[in-house]
Amino acid sequence: MLAQAATGTGKTAAFALPLLHRLSPDAPPRERTAALVLVPTRELAMQVAEAIRKYGAGLGAVAVPIYGGTPMESQIRTLKRGADVVIATPGRALDHIRRKTVFLGALRTVVLDEADEMLDMGFAEDLEAILAATPAEKQVALFSATLAPRIAAIAKTHLRDPEVIEVDTAAVKAARTATIRQVAYLVARPHKMRALARILDVERPTSAIVFCRTRTEVDALTETLTAGGLQAEALHGGLSQEQRDRVMKRFRAKTSTLLVATDVAARGLDVQHVSHVVNYDVPNATEAYVHRIGRTGRAGRTGLAITLMEPREQRWLRSFERATGQPITVAPVPTVADLTAQRMAHAQAALREVIVAGGLDPWRGIVDALASEFSLADVAAAAVKQAVGEPGGADEAEIPDARERHPAREREAARKARREATTTDASEGAMERSAATRPARGPAPKAPRTTAKRKGTGPGGSLAKLYVGAGRKLKIRPGDIVGAIVNEMGMDASAIGAIQIWDRHSIVEVPESIADDVVTTLSATTIKGKRVQVRRDRSVR
């Protein structure tokens, strides 16, 4: 089967319920695995495994998720005890297949869930190797948000005369966002943190998810929000599975109000009570935007999606509106006066509840004593001041309105851009002429055998080249590098640029804004089980 369906359309139930009827519970533990489900991230692996356990509770079905970032030995012990359904990320599935710790001889069903996402993360070769290791006689179900040519190529190779099901993506998106109000605030980068704090203070969300691009930014933002007195928790690929479970348990129990997360960490997240979603960073693609805001407005509730945009990122507004079929209101950041009015309104509502609840007799003596000296209105106002504090609180300075246009400044910026373009053209012409007359210096270095050209189409920002000290001699593939960056940084795979694989090293392009974070993170982890040198590329090619 080949199915095109967006997130939230019931794909898990669509493949889980039928495959539960094809299990072999009486088979020996080693030959018990009847279904293999491949997913892009460990969060989704955990979610699918939990859903299958729930659906198959009456059958005693055993669903085992396997993914990177956890000890291989414990997964091997679990698999030896027997698993009806194995839910795995491609890299870890291939590791187990090569170790022969997962037996696929009795496999009846293979499911590729979020196939386009797995391809975006560079798992194409892994998927081919896994499917080649499965029995020739099996059922393959492929689920994807898009039916791009590369999806069609996999279907042509591994699916025989498939049934094709297409769910109207536009209708699904419109239905998923119908109860979500969308607002964008134009804010210059230096003021984003203060703007976020003020918006949260005005909105007072009961439960919110704040999305960032990198795990470094998640940690920094969580620390700042917590220091400001908010109950914020971080969720990203750098946390152990035990830490992630604790964070999600507190968030689901409403012990913490704010979850600050990366896209990868929050993929497949399903919490019914989320009232607000905040895009602290503009997502790299419209699909990511729809996925993010779909975390709110669940189960018939209304939700609010807030996006903090730098002025240069306004071009994404129309794309997001088309993707959701809903308008996005561009609003000014709340002023100090707005904040004061909102705080006063909350204080008034809180006092009203106290008065209605009654039981105020123990405090009437204080009021009676002061009433002989001051008016009752002054006594009440003093009590409110003591409880609420000064109007505006600690947030005193106004945040500049980035919606304001400055024609003179824009004209100067345009002139500067034209001058820089002219200078660049002249420099490139000189370089080309110089190269044409330069004497040969011996044979050119061997070109990389593997070159992965990726889009890297994040909204704004240049790309930086990083040197990775491993290449084709260590059997490094583009998917290994993409997978390492995506899993460790919690970033969108589409933000990664070109990847070149040489004999003893590789070159990868990443957004300049996070290049140093990528160097630090990859230097502390392993790629294909090996610790390798990672630094900014110093050579000129």
State the pLDDT at residue 40. 85
pLDDT of residue 266: 67
pLDDT of res. 308: 94
Question: Percentage of residues in the chain with pLDDT exceeding 90?
Answer: 20
Nearest-angstrom CA–CA distance, 313 and 188: 10
Mean pLDDT for the stretch of residues 116-121: 77
270 confidence band (pLDDT: 50, 70, 90):
low
Q: What is the pLDDT of residue 508?
A: 92
Show the tokens assigned to 345: 């309104």
Q: Using alpha carbons, select from 270, 246, 280, 259 the residue that is nearest to residue 206.
A: 259
Quote the CA–CA distance of 125 and 107 in Å, as a whole number: 21
461 or 188, greater pLDDT = 188
Region label for 35, one of left (φ > 0), alpha (ψ between -120 and 50) or beta (otherwise): beta
What burial class does residue 260 get, using C-beta atoms within 10 Å of its C-beta: 0-12 exposed, 13-18 middle, 19+ buried? buried
pLDDT score recorded for residue 406: 44
Helix (H) or strand (E) run with residue 487 in it: helix 478-489
* CA 493-267-94 angle, 5° bins: 65
Q: What's the number of CA atoms in the CB half-sphere (13 Å) around residue 335?
A: 4
Q: For 38-74, write each residue's pLDDT tens digit.
A: 998 877 888 899 899 999 988 888 999 998 877 888 8
Question: Averaged over 330-351, what is the pLDDT?
Answer: 81
* Mean pLDDT score across all residues of the chain: 80
Label residue 37 by pLDDT band (50, 70, 90).
very high
Q: How many helices (H) and strands (E) in the chain?
A: 20, 19
499/437: higher pLDDT:
499
Residue 66 pairs with which residues in a beta bridge? Answer: 88
Domains of the chain with bracketed CATH: 2-167 (3.40.50.300), 172-333 (3.40.50.300), 337-359+367-388 (no CATH), 450-536 (3.30.70.330)
Give me the pLDDT at residue 434, please.
43
Mark 365-380 as b/e (b = at least 16 C-beta within 10 Å): eeeeebeeeeeeeebe
pLDDT at res. 315: 82
pLDDT confidence band for 7 (50 / 70 / 90): low
Per-residue model confidence (pLDDT) at position 391: 62
pTM for the structure as a whole: 0.52
Q: What is the pLDDT of residues 458-479, one digit of tens each?
A: 444 588 899 999 988 888 888 8
The two tokens of residue 426 are 């002249």
pLDDT band for 405, please (50, 70, 90 cuts).
Answer: very low
Phi, psi of 303 (to 5 degrees): -140, 165
* pLDDT given at position 436: 42
Cα atoms in the Cβ-side hemisphere of radius 13 Å centred on 227: 8
Q: What is the mean pLDDT of residues 276-297?
A: 86
* Residue given tokens 């009847």 in the structure block: 34
List pLDDT tens digits, range 355-377: 888 888 888 889 888 888 888 88
d(CA 500, CA 506): 6
pLDDT at residue 410 in the model: 46
Closest of 248, 270, 43, 258 to residue 176, by C-alpha: 270
Using left for φ > 0, alpha for ψ between -120 and 50, and beta otherwise, residue 442 falls in: left
pLDDT for residue 141: 92
Question: Using alpha carbons only, how large is the chain's radius of gyration in Å?
Answer: 28
The predicted structure's pLDDT at residue 459 = 45
Q: How confident is the model at residue 322 (pLDDT cuts 50, 70, 90)?
A: confident
Joined together, the tokens standing for residue 414 give 């345009």
* DSSP reduced 3-state for 299: coil
Per-residue pLDDT tens over the stretch 152-180: 888 888 888 888 888 865 555 555 555 78
DSSP label of 413: H
What token pair was written down for 160?
């025989």
| Residue found under tokens 């997130």 | 7
Under the banding of pLDDT at 50, 70 and 90, the label for residue 213 is confident
pLDDT band at 111 (very low <50, low <70, confident <90, very high): very high
H/E stretch holding 324: helix 316-324
Give the pair of three-digit tokens for residue 233: 């928790």
The reported pLDDT for the residue numbered 16 is 93
Q: Tell me, what's the pLDDT at 294?
A: 82
The mean per-residue pLDDT over the stretch 101-120 comes to 87
Q: What is the DSSP letter of 373?
A: T
| 76 — pLDDT class (breaks 50, 70, 90) | very high
- Check residues 290 and 440 and name the one with the higher pLDDT: 290
The pLDDT value given to residue 178? 59
**DSSP letter for each residue of 224-274:** HHHHTT--EEEESTTS-HHHHHHHHHHHHTTS-SEEEEEHHHHTT---TT-
pLDDT value of residue 350: 79
Confidence of residue 484 (pLDDT cuts 50, 70, 90): confident
Paired with 65 in beta bridges are 87
Q: Can you tell me the distance from the alpha carbon of 196 to that of 208, in angstroms, rounded to the nearest whole number?
A: 12
Asked whether 186 and 330 are in contact (CB, 8 A), the reply is yes
What are the two backbone dihedrals, phi and then psi, of residue 501, each rounded to the nearest 5 degrees? -105, 115
- Calculate the CA dihedral of residues 151, 152, 158, 159 and round it to 10 degrees: 120
Q: Which helix (H) or strand (E) holds 143?
A: strand 139-144
Q: What number of other Cβ atoms are within 10 A of residue 172's Cβ?
A: 18
Per-residue pLDDT at 409: 43
- 407 pLDDT exceeds 60? no
Residue 518 CA to residue 512 CA, distance in Å, equals: 10
Residue 328 DSSP SS3: strand
